Structure 1
Amino acid sequence: MKILTAQQLKEVDQVTTEVQSISSLELMEKASGACAEWIFKNYNNKHAFYVFCGPGNNGGDGLVIARILKSRLYNVTVFITSNIAYSDDFEQNFELWQRVSGKTISINNEDDFPDLSDEKIIIIDALFGSGINRPIKGIAADLIHYINAAKKEVISIDIPSGLYVDNNATNLHNAIIKSSHTLTLELPKLSLILPENKEFSGEMHIITIGLDKNAIEKQESKYEWITEEYFKDFLKKRNRFSHKGNFGHVKIVAGSKGKIGAAILASKASLRIGAGLVTAEIPSCGYDAMQSSIPEVMVVTNGKNFIKTRIDLNNHFIGVGPGLDTNEETKTEILRLITRTNDPLVIDADALNILAEHKDYWDKIPIYSVLTPHPKEWARWIGNWNNDFEKLERTLKFAKQYCLYVVIKGAYSVTITPKGDLFFNSSGNPGMATAGSGDVLTGIITGLLSQGYTSGKASVLGIYLHGLAGDIVEKEKGEFSLIASDIIENIGKAYEKLMNQ
């Protein structure tokens, strides 16, 4: 699913009306009706809905939603901001709202702001949509401040008012609606999935409104939103006559005294994702723990409490870094490993931290290797960023320069490729922010590499399966009790769900 710019979305709307032989007013009715249906499914008519409408087509959406809600006996009041001019579709929908005797209050100054203290009030934000490209000022900004201060439940239509669709570097963040839910139309918006905008976007819901699929596909975009449909013709199926040698041999180089669990999690995840063989190269202090925890994993010891001698390559698919430690002898061996192989590596955790301090080794990292940092680790590589858009652009430049894949972990983890594409992951939940979750991901991606997936496919598929397994756990156990081992135990269910779609 593509992520498009505001201009591209406008073009898709236009093509849709032409291809489907409908007016923009009819498309608005269709989109707003889909939003209203979402509201019906999630709220009863005991609430009081305050619909705040701006002068453009987003305000028109709000008027249609208000009319549909009223037709189902919901308590609705519309608030319209004063303006010199209104869009044609707004004008026509306002006339329809008046025909059904809808309650309307005009907002000309702060004295017109409504009392929002009633607990029953739900706010529908339809002030400004995806076409906004400059900071909100004046009475509209004051109204946004007022709504945010009330701390009510807010449903934004398409995008929180005041938030730009993509780059918000020049925006005034004190004049953006703080939504509880954003009903974004047809496609996700880039700004809704960037961490810096989490206080504005709330929970994102993609509302299908029937935009022309061909028009969407013709739009060029480097941003992709990954859902299960992406993997429809993607997954490798096993031949009845296959054997373990067909699915590769993974080497997990990980662990140090007190952190052998990281090596265990990564190794087990590689097995669960389908690697034919897995060997863990760990300090000898973890030998008994590894052998007793996962008898299916072979073990090679290296050093007593941390990795300190030459790492065995032996044609393995290598994942390196979980729980490794950064002492000097380990650093030496990790740097030596980078120069001894031309095969892609999966590099995580302390291996990332070691390499962050040795920029002169970056061009020695085998091309198509996969780096899996969380944001703090990644800042050690590219420096601090002023905003998330800058982070993505700098990472894109890095990935192209060194021909590497970078997976920035977090909500909506993103895979950034050497070709310049960015794949945002839709699976996963906050319960996965737990110790060892990243170690599991390292094992998953390495295990997929061993089965013949390219670095890009292994990254995108690995992240999605990792998140999907976490979602399965969340439904069974809840977010708060989810642990990394639970993710591993549900990899199989996640895989089957994708296979059977």
Structure 2
Amino acid sequence: MKTIMTAAQTRDADRYTIEHLPIASVDLMENASTAFVTAFIQRHPNRHTRILVCCGTGNNGGDGLAIARLLQAGGYDDIAVWVARFADRESDDFAANIARLHHTPIPVTEFFPADEFPEIQQHVVIDALLGSGLNRPLEGDWLRLVQHLNQAHRSTVSVDIPSGLRADGIVSEQEEAIHADDVITFQRPKLSFFFPESAKAMADFHVVDIGLDEGFIERLPSNYRVVETADIQDMYRHRERFSHKGTYGHALIVAGSVNTMGAAILASGASVYVGAGLTSACIPPEGLVALNARHPEVMYCSRERLPEAWNRFDAVAIGPGLGSASIHLPAMLTYPSKPLVVDADALSFLSENPKLLRKLPKLSILTPHMKEFDRLFGPSSSWWDRVQRARKQASALQLIIVLKNRYTFIVLPDGNVLINPTGNPAMASGGMGDVLTGVVVSLLAQGYTPQEAAILGCYLHGLAGDRLFAAGMAVVPATRAITELPHAIASLRG
């Protein structure tokens, strides 16, 4: 898993690399600019593209100057540079790169406080105004320039981070920032990239390696890490030669009501397709025909017989489409402890009966979306605050909270937060949460630890959607995501 650094830690990693590689600071900047240019060329290969590079006078601006020079050397024939001299100081590496730029034919226009900005004629803007050290809202001339660039509606690529967006901490949707179509960021994504508030500042991001010392980065204290494919490949246990259905456990899904049987069917189907040896659904009898028609592999358990059948199951999920039948949750918590997933209507029941939270088995997995989380633990004014609240509650209650989002936050009882990178907007459709619940309980039944089941479940769920999106599906229905799950698992063999 990749450690996410704060802005201050990124500067520490720069210094450490410079001192121990060893490498001059200006040469490390050249590495970063070269990596940026390589990624930029892949996305904008037309050498006749008219490009405007906008630079501040700090190190982010120094990156921009080096990028302009490298693009010109790479055959781009129409590049212009703007330099915003709104501060009295400039970094040493900026000074070195402005001197190098003077040996090229690239025109440089400098702007000083209160200067007017001309109309932008170029097709692409490269934003290298302000880097990740920003910790307050834009104002004055910086704000005027950013607004001017945004109003031009040009394709914009930011260097490392959109100017005006904070790297970590609270991100306000009201604060102005560059509207970047793409961000080519250095070594690690910024934590703020995973918060929905960043959507106004950036449509997408790509990470490039600039040669910082990875050993130093991974030793940094951090509560935030991004899950990688290699982690999943190491974690997932492929089926053994002489295994049988008893090897892979028995999952129980307590779900569905007369009007919401679809949720139970989706969760049950996901459990089957992810590989639980047996899956049972505890549903109203009115749903049996639909369940048998859709998933004949799934067995039925009546709610009246649940207490006597309880010991047959290896893991339990409760909540999808359960409605008023959530009143069964308190009784279930008196039965022998099982690995437990709590979702949907069962989460709503917990929000109305918060004392039950402390009766959940340790390491139970809660899978709330934003509104469910806020009902459970109180409203938050930002995603930063929401994640901090999740860390506090996961620790206090010794639970795993899967806070669903475009990038899902898997919050562990030790306060660490694992960020799941898979998934895409095509999956924003009804029933996807029910599918995730079925995936996670299936993995629990198969013997994965709660932490492993949460990590694997989120990753595989998103990977199935990513595969379908890559194959051309603009919208991924929950039923289609289920049938893609075995293919996503098979792809882990590489």
For 1:311 and 1:224, the matched residues in 2 are separated by 42
Q: CA deviation at 1:197?
A: 1.7
1:205-248, Cα deviation, whole Å (9 max, x unpaired): 11122221111111111100112022242221322222211111
Q: Which residue of 1 aligns with 2:477?
A: 483
Q: What is the SS of the residue equivalent to 2:385? A: helix
| Other structure's SS at 2:167 match | coil
Tell me, what secondary structure is at the counterpart of 1:331?
A: helix
C-alpha spacing 1:232/1:292, structure 2 compared with 1 (3 Å): closer
Aligned counterpart, 2:149: 147
C-alpha contact (below 8 Å) 1:127/1:161 kept by paired residues: yes
Looking at structure 1, the residues matched to 282 and 173 of structure 2 have their Cα atoms a distance apart, in angstroms, of 51
Residues 110 and 175 (structure 1), Cα distance of their counterparts in 2 relative to 1, 3 Å cut: farther
Residue 397 of structure 2 corresponds to 402
Q: Deviations over 1:272-327 (max 9, x none)?
A: 11111000111111101111211111112348xxxx986952242111111111x2
Name the residue aligned to 2:81. Answer: 78
| Of 132, 136, 139, the match for 1:137 | 139
Aligned alpha-carbon RMSD (Å): 1.7
Determine whether 1:98 maps to 2:96.
no
Cα distance change, pair 312–201 in 1 and its aligned pair in 2 (3 A) = farther
Which ranges of structure 2 fall in alignment gaps of 5 or more residues?
A: none
Out of 330, 347, 356, which is 1:361 matched to?
356
Q: Which amino acid is the alignment partner of residue 490 of structure 2? A: E
Matching residue of 1:318: 316
- The amino acid of 2:264's aligned partner reads A
Query: For the residues of structure 2 that align with 1:111 and 1:12, how far apart are their CA atoms?
Result: 37
**Cα distance, 1:202–1:398 mapped onto 2, change above 3 Å:** same
SS at match of 1:339: coil
Q: Deviations over 1:449-473 (max 9, x none)?
A: 0111111110011100111111111
Give the 5 Å matches for 1:384-463: 384-463=379-458
How many pairs align?
A: 489
Residues 89-488 of structure 1: pairs in structure 2 closer than 5 A: 89-116=93-120, 118=121, 120-168=122-170, 173-302=174-303, 312-316=309-313, 317-325=315-323, 327=324, 330-480=325-475, 482-488=476-482
| 1:126–1:161 CA contact under 8 A, matched in 2 | yes
Structure 1's 216 and 232: CA in aligned 2 closer, same or farther, altered over 3 A? farther
Inter-partner Cα distance in structure 1 for 2:188 and 2:99: 29
C-alpha contact (below 8 Å) 1:136/1:172 kept by paired residues: no
Aligned with 2:201: secondary structure? helix
Equivalent AA in structure 1 for residue 278 of structure 2 = L
Contact 1:309 1:333 in 2 (8 A): no
Q: What SS does structure 1 have at the residue aligned with 2:16? A: helix
C-alpha distance in 2 between matches for 1:111 and 1:470: 49
SS at match of 2:199: helix
Q: Distance in 2 between matches of 1:60 and 1:133?
A: 20
Per-residue deviation, 1:109:
4.1
Counterpart contact for 1:58–1:126, Cα < 8 Å: yes
How much has 1:81 moved relative to structure 2? Answer: 0.7
* Structure 1: gaps spanning 5 or more residues: none
- Cα distance in 2, alignment partners of residues 32 and 299 from structure 1: 60
What is the deviation of 1:414?
Answer: 0.8
> Deviation at 1:139?
0.8
**Conserved in 2, the CA contact under 8 Å of 1:124 and 1:157?**
yes
Other structure's SS at 1:381 match: helix
CA shift, 1:433, in A, is 0.7
Partners of 1:156 and 1:168 in 2: how far apart? 20
Offset, 1:175: 3.1
The CA deviation string for residues 323-357 of structure 1, in whole angstroms up to 9 with x for no partner, is 111x2xx1321222133342221011111111111
SS class of match (1:241): coil
Q: Deviations over 1:384-423 (max 9, x none)?
A: 1111111011111100111100001120111001011101
Question: How far is 1:133 from its partner?
Answer: 2.3
1:70-103 CA distances to partner (integer Å, 9 max, x unpaired)?
A: 1233211110011311000000001111111321
The question of whether the paired residues in 2 share the 8 Å contact of 1:110 and 1:142 is answered with no
Query: Equivalent pairs: percent with the same residue?
Result: 38
Aligned residue type for 1:321: G
Tell whether the 8 Å contact from 2:407 to 2:421 is kept in structure 1 after alignment. Answer: yes
* Cα distance, 1:286–1:71 mapped onto 2, change above 3 Å: same
Tell me if structure 1 keeps the 8 A contact 2:394–2:412: yes
Give CA deviations for 1:411-443 in whole Å, capped at 9, x if unaligned.
011100101110111111101111111111001
TM-score (norm 1): 0.94
**Counterpart code for 2:450:** S
CA drift of 1:172 comes to 8.5
Which residue identity is paired with 1:98? H
Match of 2:61 in 1: 59
Instruction: Tell me how far apart the structure 2 counterparts of residues 20 and 401 of structure 1 sit (CA, whole Å).
Output: 42
User: Does the aligned pair in 2 maintain the 1:56–1:87 contact within 8 Å?
Assistant: yes
- 1:358-396, CA deviations, whole angstroms, 9 ceiling, x for partnerless residues? 011111111110000110111101111111111011111
Per-residue deviation, residues 171-197 of structure 1 (Å, max 9, x unmatched): 694332121111111111101111122
